[in-house]
Amino acid sequence: MKRAFNFGAGPSAIPLEVLEEAQKDLLDFQNSGISIMEASHRSKLYENVHNEAISLMRELYQIPENYEVLFLQGGASMQFAMIPLNLSKKGGKAQYVNSGSWSTKAIKEVGIQGIECEIVASSKESSHNHIPADIKFDNSADYCYVTSNNTIYGTQYKSFPSTKAPLVVDASSDIFSYLVDWDKIDLLFAGAQKNAGPSGVTIVIIKKDLLERVGDNVPTILRYKTHASNNSLFHTPPTFGIYLINLIMKWLKSKGGIDGMAKINEQKAKILYDAIDNSDGFYVGHAVKDSRSLMNVSFNIKDKNAELEAKLIQEATDNNMIGLKGHRSIGGLRASIYNAMSTEGVEALVALMQKFQKENS
């Protein structure tokens, strides 16, 4: 079977072992005579999968007991609206760091709701090539908001700013890639389709005391409290996606857990960044070094040579490496090296990049 090295930003690669296990369960799950996709979300058959996924997430991510783990729908973009709906107080304010396209979209949703929103730091003027330094949040804010990893620009927080106000983290592109400091985080959310599973599932991990903030005017289905009170079964959840998250948690456990995966991620990123840094300027990274992402490596060929960049993307495709075209907003190239990307895949890409440089310098 031909399997490509998938460097796409999302939906992205799923481990082969997970896909093979899902393939076996697709027609007959646990000798039930039905596919896991056909199982009722109210059945014991599915309920065991659902609860095991939550339990494994708690274990691997070391989630404290005073947090709820929710499976929602609508993608991470739905959270841009749900967060202010659930956490804002009348007459209060929210504070955001603008470090890229996704935080920009989240900020827009706060404004649509007529909530005061302060941008306390931004990297916009430098084309979001770094994480802003010296971030100062107001401890009296309703909540403060950061995007932990920026898929388009290839930047990532190395530590989160401290605040007495609740800190919200959009971890859509680096969830489960390293262990986070829960003492600093009050709500963390992520679309599953980069590191946790397939598209269609949104993970929200929220402190239980924040569930009570929601106002009476918020629609029932848009309240975190609704879903927490019903174990994310208020309505039909994305059952097959949650089943795959369960399998991915088991796969993560087999790889030494999240700490073990973090070491692999550091190794993969070093291989690729070393290739860029040692190319005598032929390859140029977008992010400044102290803000570099371990998940998304955005780079250009010298002088942003679009013709050569397109040629490299085509050669990569011809060599079974896909998804390397940079985001349309900045162009260039982008290698997304999420948990499921193997070291072998990164080494294959680097070998091609070095060969391409010799032939095109």
Which tens digit of pLDDT belongs to each residue from 194-246? 999 999 999 999 999 999 999 999 999 999 999 999 999 999 999 999 999 99
Catalytic residue selected from 142, 170, 174, 186: 170
If you count them, how many residues does the chain have? 361
Q: Each residue of 267-295: pLDDT tens digit? A: 999 999 999 999 999 999 999 999 999 99
Q: Is 170 a catalytic residue?
A: yes
Q: Each residue of 314-328: pLDDT tens digit? A: 999 999 999 999 999
Distances (CA, A) of 223 to 25, 76, 112, 203, 361: 33, 15, 18, 14, 56
Q: Which domains does the chain have, with CATH numbers?
A: 16-254 (3.40.640.10), 257-360 (3.90.1150.10)
Q: Name the band, by pLDDT with cuts 50, 70 and 90, for residue 137.
A: very high
At residue 1, does pLDDT exceed 90? no
Average pLDDT for residues 41-53, to the nearest whole number? 97
At residue 2, does pLDDT exceed 90? no
Residue percentage of the chain with pLDDT more than 70: 100
Average pLDDT for residues 152-179, to the nearest whole number? 97
Q: Is 182 a catalytic residue?
A: no
Q: At what angle do helices 239-254 and 257-277 cross, to 10 degrees?
A: 80
Rg (CA), the chain: 21
User: Whole-angstrom Cα distance, residue 54 to residue 233?
Assistant: 13
Catalytic residue selected from 142, 174, 186, 194: 194
At residue 177, does pLDDT exceed 90? yes
Q: Is 251 a catalytic residue?
A: no
